[in-house]
Structure 1
């Protein structure tokens, strides 16, 4: 999408730095405001409150417009092109994937949460606010990550190569490594999961020519997990600890859903499947119009 006669590697690195820098800046800013508005202290630090939860989700959700702004500013390409090769969000594809993703992630969450986790002392009202923030903002948070990593970074890095295949590999590698790194984990199993998750969603994005299915899988995974956290009053500080030694091979259980999703998409889009470039999309539209 962003490939041209010049590889513009420096511009691409700037785009990635602006994206990640903006994400962390907004996250810190929103968290600081949340703590100032609701300064609840626990064990010597700020407690994880519904407002702090909402701030974290909202800050990452803003990656969607921020990615579009960066692309428009540095490359002169309209932000709408990030949706798909048709430059629009395909709600039909999104709608078909949604009822399949939610039950799959729910089953995985039951497995992951089978062993009891430390509980937080949330009030009844806090639980309701956590649930509301999760339902309203977590899907947008997952979508924001997809627009940033499988959208902007994927195509920026892909444009550094001369050939299409080399661009695909480079785009997958760079976007996946950056995705894993920004989670700031020193745990081997967690980093393995982040990498596999990112690679598989990149393949789905490429095969479908858009972000819709990747958004469904990412947004619903996060949302279902947070709903389980709220329902079970899980201490999120402990549950989402990313330091070395906190995870085991069971952490990779969700990988089965992602692998199955890739296989299904691969089968459904092989041959004359989904359009993967703007040129393919334009040709398809012209064919439908002529028919």
Structure 2
């Protein structure tokens, strides 16, 4: 079913790695269906196991948000990380590690610098979001400890899983539906961002706008930096801090994370605003170099090798040194 095996085209942007001579829209739709379907499957299966382990639903038919239920929910979304890699490998013949970045590895230098800049900002933003009273419930100290452990160990992977799925696989799949790199990134951002908002299953306008612009901003960051590292810091950092505050303040998570119409407030769009601001900073920092590109076959970024068939980068772009487009230098 794949047209090439383990091959990363040289001199192309992150979202064009899966682009070929044909647009392969049918294959792309299959990839998206498998990804989203898998996400819902994991989100049903894992928490269901937690409910069975803990004795089934409560007397009123509801589900208690226990530490085990929380941990299985985080683990379910984290499964998108290997699932995305598997779908890419099976349907496109491209190794899963290429989802990390244009150099097919996770760039810990960019990740580390992003942590130092973004986490303090998220800490302040989270404090603002939790300034107003939230619904609370009684919870034992033991449960608080288990909530904290589950959050610290699994929520970063949960955020990463969503990024590899939506800003990784879906961005690449949709990015190959257009003929060129510029039209491809427009299609990729629209498709990945709209789907990201839809899967959160909210009927509130402000929440949906927050999800949409949050996704657009992270997609721009991923495109310009040529990798998923900063996206993971933005998403996983925000989610992890939020659940840490929930545990510390004994927040009733089910009530606090209600996504029905009318729950949005003046601060609802604050996370999206931070992400969009981050995207603008990254764009400014990469305005001269442009988006990061995949390296040449020999790993010589200055070799000036021409773009290969099915790619759309001119020779001058392909010759740009990879280290100048890290995005957070």
TM-score (ref. length: structure 1): 0.95
Shift of 1:173: 0.2
1:11 to 21, 27, 31: 27
Counterpart CA distance in 2 for 1:235 and 1:196 is 27
Shift of 1:271: 1.2
1:202 to 219, 241, 247: 219
1:86 to 103, 117, 125: 103
Counterpart CA distance in 2 for 1:258 and 1:280 is 34
> Does the 8 A contact of 2:213 with 2:276 survive in 1?
no
Q: Aligned residue for 1:77?
A: 94
Counterpart CA distance in 1 for 2:47 and 2:264 is 26
Residues 118-267 of structure 1: pairs in structure 2 closer than 5 A: 118-267=135-284
Equivalent pairs, count: 289
Shift of 1:181: 0.4
Matched, 1:33 2:46: no
Q: Aligned residue for 2:37?
A: 21
Shift of 1:254: 1.8
Counterpart CA distance in 2 for 1:178 and 1:268 is 28
> Does the 8 A contact of 1:35 with 1:46 survive in 2?
yes
Higher helix share: 1
What SS does the corresponding residue of 2:268 show, helix, strand or coil? Answer: helix
Counterpart CA distance in 1 for 2:253 and 2:220 is 31
Shift of 1:45: 1.2
- TM-superposition CA deviations, 1:192-217 (whole Å, max 9, x none): 00000000000000000000001000
What SS does the corresponding residue of 2:29 show, helix, strand or coil? Answer: helix
Counterpart CA distance in 2 for 1:245 and 1:68 is 37
- TM-superposition CA deviations, 1:17-47 (whole Å, max 9, x none): 0001111101111011000111362643120
The two structures, once aligned, show a CA RMSD in angstroms of: 1.9
Residues 92-103 of structure 1: pairs in structure 2 closer than 5 A: 92-103=109-120
> Does the 8 A contact of 2:214 with 2:273 survive in 1?
no
Structure 1: any 5+ residue segments left out of the alignment?
none
Counterpart CA distance in 2 for 1:274 and 1:160 is 19
Counterpart CA distance in 2 for 1:190 and 1:74 is 33
Matched, 1:104 2:121: yes
Structure 2: any 5+ residue segments left out of the alignment?
1-16, 304-318, 323-329
Matched, 1:113 2:134: no
> Does the 8 A contact of 2:225 with 2:291 survive in 1?
yes
> Does the 8 A contact of 2:211 with 2:272 survive in 1?
no
TM-score (ref. length: structure 2): 0.84
Counterpart CA distance in 2 for 1:121 and 1:194 is 30
Q: Which runs of 4+ in 1 moved over 6 A?
A: none
Aligned CA distance change for structure 1 residues 42 and 278 (closer, same or farther; 3 Å): farther
Shift of 1:189: 0.3
Counterpart CA distance in 1 for 2:72 and 2:180 is 41
Matched, 1:2 2:32: no
